Structures are given as structure tokens and as C-alpha cells.
Amino acid sequence: MTRMRITTEKPGARPLPPVYMATSLGGATIPNPMLTASGCAAAGRELDQFFDVTDLGAVVTKSIMLKPRSGRATPRMAETASGMLNSIGLQGPGLDAFVDTDLAWLKRRGARAVVSIAGSSVEEFTKLAQRLRNTDGIAGVEVNISCPNVENRGLVFACDPLAASAVISAVRRSTAPGIPVIAKLSPDVTDIVEVARAVVDAGADGLSMINTSLGLVIDTQTMRPTLAGVTGGLSGPAIRPLAVRCVWQVHAALPTVPIVGMGGIRTGLDALEFILAGASAIAVGTVIFNDPGAPIRVLHELQRELGDRGFDRLSDAIGYAHRPHGVPAEPTADESAGDDEAAPGDALAGREHKEHRG
Ligand SMILES: Cc1cc2nc3c(=O)[nH]c(=O)nc-3n(C[C@H](O)[C@H](O)[C@H](O)COP(=O)(O)O)c2cc1C
């Protein structure tokens, strides 16, 4: 097969502006904010045909459970007007096979691997984390708490602050210090800030948001639900405003906690929305299914959008939308020397201001 690898932007494109893109993933620094969303790029091996996966901030692997699982009955994917509904049901080879194949490949390849884990009890999450503790080559652990808790009538962990914090505290205790534990939150709750606070208090170093939102499609020909599992998780552009709202609310309440923002990102401008709302990293998922080069394309587009707005560091743009017009980020020692320089983002703030007045 011919490999079409994306290494730079299109021929003739302007060179990328020199924006410092490094960011924090809860105690660990990664060279840029672009991650793959769990479940949308397996372990990155297929994407490596299209671009160098070591160029990503990190590859987040599909959520892995202790034992192999075949997932839900088919059909388990349905298209919607601006997104996709899936009920894959955490199909996977189980932890041992994952460590020996996918994780081993990521390690050999030199990619930063964030391993997503999923369980149906606190004990299962603990066993997963303990086993990963003895495995090197892991840049972080993402904890998918959007799974039913068999010990509490199948209530999804992420919808119950107490159960969510029990999982995170067990995973944090079982994970090596220095390896970030990132809790992945569900938007299907009344108060996402309450859940975020609970998992951060329990030891989460960062938050990933959002997981898919529960939806249902009915086939008007058969007049029955399209998915065999009836309901499924909605992803793609349809959920982007919902995701940006979640990031905004959690950043406002917990401004120092790193957030990986995701939900319907397809372009650099979409990614910028999440950064301005308070995300310090972003992940792309559904878009990968029709554009496998999207992670690197969106990363380049984001860098360009930041440069065009006068930012020379990604970190200055994080949460920018929360600041009133004309209030720049806290200057660093070397920046305060050049008082005549325009504050990062002034170009955009000025433009928006004029447009609103007009
Ligand atoms: C086919 C598919 C499988 C997914 N599998 C997982 C998974 O295993 N673990 C997880 O935490 N999220 C999973 N997700 C959710 C994504 O990681 C992401 O949170 C969500 O799709 C929103 O991002 P997007 O709109 O860019 O896809 C899956 C999403 C899709 C579409």
C-alpha cells in the first residue's frame, strides 16, 4: 500500500508561526496539546500510516478492560445529521494482550501512550492500575468512568460523584507517582462541576471531557431503534457546544486543573474554542474516521490560529475567553520588560470589540 504521510502542511502554505505549543497533562509536560480521543484511533498503529504518531502530544488508547470482550450486538453505529451514535460496548482483547501487543508497539515506536482503562467495579479498576504500574512506557492513565457500576445497580460511575471518586482514589493509589491520572467525565449529569471537584479531591491530576452523550436514533423504515443496543453515545460536531460549555464551567471552578477538551473538534478553530474555554490540551475522535490525518492537520491549524491572534505561547490562550476584553494573561518576568508590545490576543479582542459595536 502507498503511504501518504503528512509531515508538513500543503506545499505553498505559509510556514507555521513560532508558537510554543508545550502544555501540561497533569504534572507531565507534553510537547504539544494534540491527543487522540480514546476509542477512535485504536492504539495509533493505523494512524502511523498517515503521519508520525510520535508528533502527537500523546496517543490515548481505546479503553481496555481486564478480560477480553466482544462488545455489543450489531448494528452498533448510526450516522446522525452532525455526528455519530455508537454502542461498541468496550470491545477489546483484555489487558494482558493489550500490554503485549498495542502497548509494546507504542513503546517501540517511541510514542507517548496514555492508557485508557475501564472497569465495572472499583476492584477491577484497581487491578488494571496495579498491573499497569509494573509496565513501563506509559505517559498517563485515563480513567473511563462512563461504565456501569455492577455494585450499584449499573449506575454509571461518572454520574455519581461518590462512586467516581472511589474509582479515582483507588487508581491514584495504585499508579506510580509522576504518572498523571486523568478522569474522563460524562456530560450526562446535572452538575459536571460537582463530579469534577469530587474526582480532583480524590487525586485526579487532570480531567478529560467530554465522553459521548447518550442518544437514540429510530430507523423510520423499520420503525425501530437503529442500534441493537437501542441507545448509544453521540459524538461529533453535534456535541461541541455541549463540550465547550462543560470545559468552561469546570475551568471556571477549578482553574488550575489541566483539562483535555474534546467533542466534535474538526478544525483548528474548533480546537481553539476549547483552549479559550480553559482546556490545556485537546483530543480529536470522530473526525478521524473520515480524515485519518486530522490530528496533525488540526494541530497545525491551531498553531496558525494562535499565531494569527498574536499568541506566542499556547499557555497564554488557555482560558482566555474567561478574561474581560483587554486583560492579558499574567506577564512572565521576561515579558514584563517589553511593555510596549501588544498583549497576546489583542488583535482578536480588538476585532471582536469593533464588530460588536458595529
Ligand atoms: C466509535 C467510538 C468509540 C469510543 N470509545 C471510547 C472508549 O473506549 N473510551 C472512552 O473513554 N471514550 C470513547 N469514545 C469517546 C471519545 O473518546 C470522545 O470522548 C467522544 O467521541 C467525543 O469526541 P469526538 O466528538 O471528537 O469524537 C468513543 C467514541 C467513538 C465515536
Check pocket membership of 126 for ligand 1, CB cut-off 6 A: no
Identify the pLDDT of residue 127.
97
DSSP letters spanning 197-241: HHHHHTT-SEEEE---EEEE-EETTTTEESSTTSEEEEESGGGHH
Identify the pLDDT of residue 175.
97
DSSP letters spanning 314-349: HHHHTTGGGSPTT-PPPPPTTGGG-TTSPPTTHHHH
Residues near 1 by Cβ (< 8 Å), separated by ≥ 6?
A: 49
d(CA 202, CA 222): 47
pLDDT tens for each residue of 168-185: 999 999 999 999 999 999
Catalytic positions: 147
Which of 235, 274, 284 for a ligand 1 pocket mutation test, highest count of atoms within 8 Å of Cβ?
235
CA–centroid distance, residue 88 to ligand 1 (Å): 10
Fill in the DSSP letter of residue 93. -
In 65-162 the beta strands, taken as DSSP E runs, fall at 77-80, 83-86, 113-117, 140-144
pLDDT tens for each residue of 134-168: 898 899 999 999 988 888 888 999 999 999 999 99
Q: What domains are there in the chain, each with its CATH number?
A: 23-322 (3.20.20.70)
pLDDT tens for each residue of 312-335: 999 999 999 999 886 666 554 444
CA–centroid distance, residue 276 to ligand 1 (Å): 22
CA–centroid distance, residue 324 to ligand 1 (Å): 33
d(CA 309, CA 324): 16
Q: Rounded to the nearest 5°, which phi and psi values hold at 185?
A: -100, 155
Residues near 65 by Cβ (< 8 Å), separated by ≥ 6?
A: 90, 92, 94, 95, 117, 118, 119, 120, 124, 128
Mean pLDDT value across residues 97-114: 97
Peptide bond preceding 75 in cis form (omega within 30 of 0): yes
CB 122, CB 167: distance < 8 Å: yes
Q: Rounded to the nearest 5°, which phi and psi values hold at 113?
A: -115, 120
Check pocket membership of 62 for ligand 1, CB cut-off 6 A: yes
